[in-house]
Amino acid sequence: MDKNQGYVILKTVMLENGRGFALGENPAAPSPYVTWACYDDDKGQRQYEWGHYGDDRAALEQDLTGRVQDYQRLYNVKIVQTEAPDLYKYYSTQRPVDIGTFPKPPHNAPDEIVNYDQRVPVEGGTFRAWGHLTYTKPLTEKEAADYELRPSPHNPDLQKRIAEQTQIVGKWEDEEKRPEWQRITRWDADQGAYTALDTTPPEQLSYCVRLIEARRAARAKQPPIAEQLKEAGRLAQENRGKPGPKKDAPDKGDR
C-alpha cells in the first residue's frame, strides 16, 4: 500500500467525485494513527491533506467512517472503491458486475462487489471500468481473462511482478543504449534499482519482457561466431568444387 509522511496507508475509501479518506499507521510516531482526506492529482499520484491524529486505532477507524459518511451526506456521492492491504482488486471493464460475470474460485469468493453508476475512469484515469471486485487471494491470469477483468496495478502480486519485470527491461534498455525518449524505465539512485515511468502500463512491461526473452532464445540457438565462420568456409569450399584438369596449351609452332 501507499505511504505518506512515514505512515503506511491501511485503508482508503474513494468516492465517485475523485475524493476520498484514508487511515494510516506509523508505530514510531507520537500519534501512531491518522486519517486524511485524499485525492489523485493530474499525474495519478495520491495526495493527502487535513489529517486527524490519535493513538487509538479503533477511534481513528471510527473517525474514518464518520468522515466518509459526513462527506457523502454533504455532497451526495457514492463510494466507488475501498482499498486495503492483502485485498486483490479486479475491475470489470466491459460490463457492470452481475451474476455470471465474475469467477468464484473455491474458498475465494469476492469480499466486495461494487458497481458504478456508469463506466468511469479508474486508477488515475489510466482506463475505465463499470465496477470492481476484491478478493482475499489473487485470481489466476486465466480466471481474470475469462471474465475480462483487469487487475489493479496496486495488487500485491502484480506489484511484485512489475518490480521484477522493471529490472529486466531497465537492464536491457541500458545494454541496447536506448535513448531517453524511447525508454519505459529509469534508474532510481535512491532505491538502487530501476523503476517504471509513470506513463508505463504493466501490459507494456510484460510485452517487453516477452520480446527480450524471445530475442535471447533466438540468439542462444545460434552457434558461436567462430563456428559460424568455420562452417561458412566449409560451405564455400564445397561450392567452389574441385578444380578441373588443365587443358594442354597449343604449341606456338603449330600456329
Q: Is the pLDDT of residue 252 over 70?
A: no
Q: Is the pLDDT of residue 73 over 70?
A: yes
CA 136 to chain CA centroid, nearest Å: 19
Q: Which residues of 135-166 are buried (b: 16+ CB within 10 A; e: fewer)?
A: beebbeeebbeebebbbbbebeebeebbeebb
Mean pLDDT over 136-152 rounds to 89
User: pLDDT class for 229, splitting at 50, 70, 90?
Assistant: low
Q: Is the pLDDT of residue 233 over 80?
A: no
Q: Is the pLDDT of residue 240 over 70?
A: no
User: pLDDT class for 27, splitting at 50, 70, 90?
Assistant: confident
> 69 in the Ramachandran plot: left (φ > 0), alpha (ψ -120 to 50) or beta?
alpha
Give the residue among 148, 152, 121, 157 at the shortest CA–CA distance from 134.
152
Residues 187 and 196 sit within 8 Å (Cβ to Cβ): no
Q: How much is the mean pLDDT over the chain?
A: 85
Q: What is the pLDDT of residue 219?
A: 80
Strand-pair partners of 200:
none
Q: What are phi and psi of 2, to 5 degrees?
A: -75, 165
Q: What is the pLDDT of residue 234?
A: 72
Cα dihedral sign, 250-251-254-255: positive
Cα dihedral sign, 108-22-2-122: positive
Mean pLDDT over 26-39 rounds to 94
Q: How far apart are CA 53 and CA 70, in angstroms?
A: 18
From first CA to last CA, the distance across the chain in angstroms is 101
Domain ranges of the chain: 3-83, 88-154, 158-221
**Lowest mean pLDDT, pick from 42-56, 100-114, 197-211, 220-234:** 220-234
Q: What is the pLDDT of residue 3?
A: 84
User: pLDDT class for 99, splitting at 50, 70, 90?
Assistant: very high
| Contacts of 123 by beta carbon, 8 Å cutoff, 6+ apart | 44, 91, 152, 153, 154
